[in-house]
Structure 1
Amino acid sequence: MLELVKAGGWPMIPLLLLSAIALAIIAERAWTLRRKVVLPPALGKEVRTWAAGGKLDPAHIESLRSNSPLGELLAAALDVRHRPRDLIRERIEDVGRHLVHRMERYLNTLGTISAAGPLLGLFGTVVGMIQMFLGILDHGIGDVTQLAGGIGKALVCTAAGMIVAIPALMAHRWFRGRISEYIVAMEHEAIQLLDVIEPHAAVRPVAPAPAPVAKKTA
């Protein structure tokens, strides 16, 4: 393995750095986006039971907010539970956008690595080929075996770029799909909670129609 890295030359250094960064991001996101961390089992049902029983003191809501992303979303709905339904939905959507942004942390970097890896590998190959042909220009073709070996060494960077990019791309797609799945599940839990607290939500007042002015009789 070390020989292949040496054969690739200095362009292998950024590829190794990218592979280390990609591995760190994949490990961190896999740990952070565990299902039981984002969507604790039975949490939605427990919160709906609280809401139906009226056990919604501020301490309960704050503990729920720090529980998980799902808990933070449900706590945001409970904070404005006495407001009209459309205002509660707006609050849920606002908090949901922040949660999605937080769950997608580092994914843009991972996507960039998956795109830049093959390009860096190709760059390393081009550099190696240029060096090889400059050597041919100075010293002639010489042994064909050495020429083939030089081409093989130049292609090491291309292979390394693909090795870095393919896992990064797969992980990036997988995390995106997992986050989308979480979003759908969180929306479902929020709607169920909204149906429970709706009887307690205020109804937006409708402006009364102006009373008709009585005509004066002569």
Structure 2
Amino acid sequence: MLEIFKSGGPLMYLIAALSILGFAVIIERFIYFFVHERGNTDIIKEELKVYIEKRDIERAQELCTLYNNSSIIVLKGILEEVEYAHEINIENLEEKAREIALHRIPSLEKNMWLLGVTATVTPLVGLLGTVSGMIIAFREIAKVGTGNPAVLADGISQALITTAAGLTVAIPAVIFYNFFNRKIEQKINEMEKVSVEVINILRK
């Protein structure tokens, strides 16, 4: 395996570095979305509705402290605004919800640009390896002629290895990039939905 890696040329080290970067981001994002953003928001929201309808803001806040996902953080901010306000101002609550949601977006999108770079750049590096390998092959043919197939095989081997390595890294990077972007979109929609529903209850 090491010999195959070395035969791919110096660009294989760049592809390896990008693969480590991409893998690290994938692991970090998995931990974020499935640990920090855990909790069934629909179930929590139904429990919160019971307390909010009774105007038991303190119990609702206690429930929010058990979870740390983005939607619950938005709801926690709304409840704090209600707690400290002399009277409920819907416009203030809507503004507070938007403000907190905007502050949560960078956490949701953290390191996604690095995964995007891995998905985009790695196949280009593989293509560059392909081109450089073919250049080497044709240069050697020009020197020694076509009588030695080993010369041509060496250059083509480098070209194919870097292409395969680049695609091997890029394909999962693209898949997870789209997967996490979908999760981000769902979380943003969820924050908007739960804040509107809770504010509508407080409006009554």
TM over 0.5: yes
The one-character-per-residue Cα deviations of 1:40-96 (angstroms, maximum 9, x if unpaired) are: 222212222222233324993696396322221101111223442122112111211
Q: Does 1:138 align with 2:143?
A: yes
Tell me which residue corresponds to 1:14.
14
Percent sequence identity is: 29
Aligned: 1:173 with 2:174: no
Q: TM-score with structure 2 length normalisation?
A: 0.85
SS in 2 for 1:33: helix
Name the amino acid aligned to 2:28: E
Distance in 1 of aligned mates of 2:88 and 2:113: 37
Once the two structures are superposed, residues 100-159 of structure 1 have per-residue CA deviations (whole angstroms, 9 ceiling, x without a partner) of 221111111111111101111111222222222332333333323541343133221111
CA RMSD of aligned residues (A): 2.4
What residue is the counterpart of 2:96 in the other structure? 91
Aligned to 2:160: 155
- The aligned residue for residue 61 of structure 2 is 60
User: Distance in 1 between the 2:46 and 2:150 partners?
Assistant: 71
| Match in the other structure for 1:215 | none
Distance 1:156 1:44 in 2: 52
| Structure 1 alignment gaps of length 5 or more | 200-218
Out of 101, 110, 113, the position equivalent to 1:105 is 110
Check 1:86–1:192 CA distance in 2 against 1; reply closer, same or farther (3 A cut): same
Q: Is the 8 A contact 1:61 1:78 kept in 2?
A: no
Structure (1 or 2) with the greater helix fraction: 2
Residues 20-59 of structure 1 correspond to what in structure 2 (within 5 A)?
20-34=20-34, 37-38=36-37, 40-41=39-40, 42-57=43-58
SS in 2 for 1:142: coil
1:50 partner amino acid: Y
Are residues 105 and 65 of structure 1, via their aligned partners in 2, closer, same or farther at CA, if it must alter by over 3 Å?
farther
- How many pairs were matched up? 198
The structure having more radius of gyration, on CA atoms, is 1
TM-score by length of 1: 0.80
Counterpart in the other structure of 1:127: 132
Distance 1:39 1:191, change over 3 A: farther
Q: Is the 8 A contact 2:133 2:158 kept in 1?
A: yes
